[in-house]
């Protein structure tokens, strides 16, 4: 998810948050060493069962934003193929990013979830967990 903010002197900043894989592939330039270190921290957070997010920023000059925004407004009003075109426009603006940070959030299960899952399993009911989390986070939650 991203948001574009107009600064007082006319330029724009795009702020974005998302999964590490999505953010990393859109970074402008970052040292390989820095990315490996950050990826290592994210991996450790995920193994610990934390939900992780990356945050990045992009400076956009007013001419570039004006051109992009004009295309965006035209696309929003289209009937056919709007979803695909909006995704393409998002890809266009959400690039050349600079990583500014990561977060690790503990998101505990509700109190009765482990017992409820155990009862479902003992009743012979198959239980499937669908998640958008990293594999390590999902495994950690699944063990609980």
**104 in any annotated domain:** yes
- Residue 142: pLDDT over 90: no
Number of structural domains found in the chain:
1
Q: Tell me the pTM.
A: 0.77
- Residue 125: pLDDT over 70: yes
Tell me what the mean pLDDT of segment 106-127 comes to: 85
- Residue 56: pLDDT over 80: yes
Q: How much is the pLDDT for 90? A: 95
CA 59 – CA 39 distance, rounded (Å): 24
pLDDT tens-digit profile of 32-44?
Answer: 888 889 999 999 9
pLDDT tens-digit profile of 65-83?
Answer: 999 999 999 999 888 889 9
Domain that holds residue 100: 2-108
CATH code of the domain covering residue 26: 3.40.1110.10
List phi, psi (to 5°) of 21: -60, -45
Token code pair at residue 73? 């407004």
Q: How much is the pLDDT for 94? A: 97
**52 in any annotated domain:** yes
Q: How much is the pLDDT for 47? A: 86
Q: How much is the pLDDT for 60? A: 97
- Residue 10: pLDDT over 60: yes
As a dihedral over the C-alpha atoms of residue 29, residue 32, residue 34, residue 35, rounded to 10 degrees, the angle is 80
CA 71 – CA 97 distance, rounded (Å): 21
**75 in any annotated domain:** yes
Q: How confident is the model at residue 115 (pLDDT cuts 50, 70, 90)?
A: confident
**84 in any annotated domain:** yes
């Amino acid at each position: 998810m991203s948001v574009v903010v107009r600064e007082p002197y006319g330029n724009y900043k795009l702020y974005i948050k998302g999964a590490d894989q999505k953010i990393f592939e859109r970074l402008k330039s970052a040292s390989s060493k820095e990315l490996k270190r950050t990826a290592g921290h994210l991996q450790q957070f995920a193994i610990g069962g934390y939900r992780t997010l990356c945050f990045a920023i992009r400076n956009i000059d007013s001419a570039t934003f004006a051109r992009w925004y004009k295309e965006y407004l035209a696309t929003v009003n289209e009937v056919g193929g709007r979803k695909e075109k909006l995704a393409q426009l998002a890809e266009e603006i959400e690039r050349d990013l600079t990583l500014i940070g990561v977060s690790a959030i503990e998101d505990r299960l509700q109190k009765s979830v482990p017992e409820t899952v155990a009862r479902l399993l003992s009743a012979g009911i198959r239980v499937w967990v669908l998640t958008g989390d990293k594999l390590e986070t999902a495994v950690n939650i699944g063990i609980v």
